[in-house]
Structure 1
Amino acid sequence: MIDVRRADGRYRGGDPAAGIDTRHAFSFGPHYDPDNLRFGAVIACNEERLAPGAGFGEHPHSHTEIVTWVVAGELTHRDSAGHATTVRAGDVQHLSAAAGVRHAERNDGDTPLTFVQTWLAPLEPGGTPSYALVPGIADATPYAVSAAGALLHVRRPAPGERVAVPDAALVYVHVVRGAVRLGDEDLHAGDAARVTGESGLTAEAIGAAELLLWELSR
């Protein structure tokens, strides 16, 4: 089954007056939808747009695996474990909140920042927080979020190129840029698909595209 969710169906959040525009794919914060709480381990997939100087002040997280993909601009990250990094387009940032951590995220640059942030529920609660930054991850090199039983595949197909969708119990597909044909559906930037029980599925690029494919064990 392929359940397509369109970009214009996302819940709009954030604080536009403060330069923060957020688009939520799942039930989040004041927007509660009991039929859209999660897909497998994925409990949030937020598209964030921060104006120069805007950001999220220090705030807590726990029992969540947080993976960030910068689309454009640079993200400044600081956390209570002492990490202070700049995350750029093509980098994978992974904050494992575990038993609890605080962090802040800002656009300290002079151009707009866009990033996609996915939250995953861990297999087991608790543990020690950890942080990882993978600069310039190569196309088709999976990144394992073992605590959540998930693999992230970043794909950047050329026009007409076909990308294999993992034969997994569940796959969450997010189109970062461009467009692809998935089954009988055309997906464009910001669109997503929740794939259940499919095998031999491919995504064909309609022009150049960039995809995040989450291979989920549950």
Structure 2
Amino acid sequence: MDVRRADARYRGGDRAAGIESLHAFSFGPHYDPDNLRFGAVIACNEERLAPGAGFDEHPHSHTEIVTWVVSGELTHRDSAGHESVVRPGDVQRLSSAGGVRHVERNDAAEPLVFVQMWLAPLEPGGDPAYEIVHGIADSTPYAVPEAGAMLHVRRLGAGERTAVPDGSFVYVHVVRGEVWLDGVRLGPGDAARITDARDLEAVAHSPAELLLWEMSG
């Protein structure tokens, strides 16, 4: 298990424009050849947008983009004609496939915080696709078969425990709260990269929310 702490993330964004970004993997000008990906995950970005701030239209290709809103509301528009507002508890996925452009903004009056995870597809190409699941239930897995991955959302009360999925690669991101994972304490923004995960569990030290990616080899 390789633990990566929140304060070790690469800092990016544009504070003057109301954008603060924290990158868990090599990203943009923060190039680290030893931190390019884990399993299918090639990015896990914590984004903070002030009211009115956002990312203007920009392109993506050959990437599965999954977004989890922590607080606030995220407005999404893309070149395929999809437009939606993503709120806490929703899972949004943009399959950029052969190419798509999109806009991400905070059009609300309150600050926006979201976690965006990029996964590499098993095969390149194809047609762009978009999906949003409103209010996904706790412990309901969300499949991204294009990347050979499954997302598990876990919300735990203090003292509650949950099994960590077995898998060739498991990526655990702590959204909020604190948990013990295999004897290691993890706090908000911390992550664990687990290879050949077997018979592990997480125990909440305080009310917690976790995102766990279960990935094939």
Residue number in structure 2 paired with 1:198: 197
The count of residues paired between Structure 1 and Structure 2 equals 217
1:182-210 deviation line (CA, Å, top 9, x unaligned): 01210000000001113110000011100
Residue number in structure 1 paired with 2:96: 97
Question: Which structure 2 residues correspond to residues 147-186 of structure 1 after superposition, within 5 A?
Answer: 147-186=146-185
Deviation for aligned residue 1:117: 0.2
Q: Distance in 1 between matches of 2:161 and 2:65?
A: 28
Residue number in structure 2 paired with 1:34: 33
| Aligned residues with identical type, % of pairs | 74
- Given the two structures, how large is their TM-score scaled by the length of structure 1? 0.99
Q: Distance in 1 between matches of 2:93 and 2:205?
A: 30
Deviation for aligned residue 1:7: 0.2
Coordinate RMSD, CA, aligned:
0.4
Structure 2 counterpart of 1:110, which letter? A
Residue number in structure 2 paired with 1:125: 124
1:49-75 deviation line (CA, Å, top 9, x unaligned): 000000000000000000000000000
Residue number in structure 2 paired with 1:85: 84
Q: Distance in 1 between matches of 2:206 and 2:36?
A: 33
Unaligned segments of structure 1, at least 5 residues: none
Say whether 1:73 aligns with 2:72.
yes
Residue number in structure 2 paired with 1:20: 19
Residue number in structure 1 paired with 2:137: 138
Q: Distance in 1 between matches of 2:51 and 2:147?
A: 33
Question: Which structure 2 residues correspond to residues 53-64 of structure 1 after superposition, within 5 A?
Answer: 53-64=52-63
1:135-184 deviation line (CA, Å, top 9, x unaligned): 00000000000100000000001111111000101100000000100012
Q: Distance in 2 between matches of 1:16 and 1:148?
A: 33
Q: Distance in 2 between matches of 1:36 and 1:94?
A: 24
Q: Distance in 2 between matches of 1:97 and 1:143?
A: 18
Q: Distance in 2 between matches of 1:160 and 1:169?
A: 27
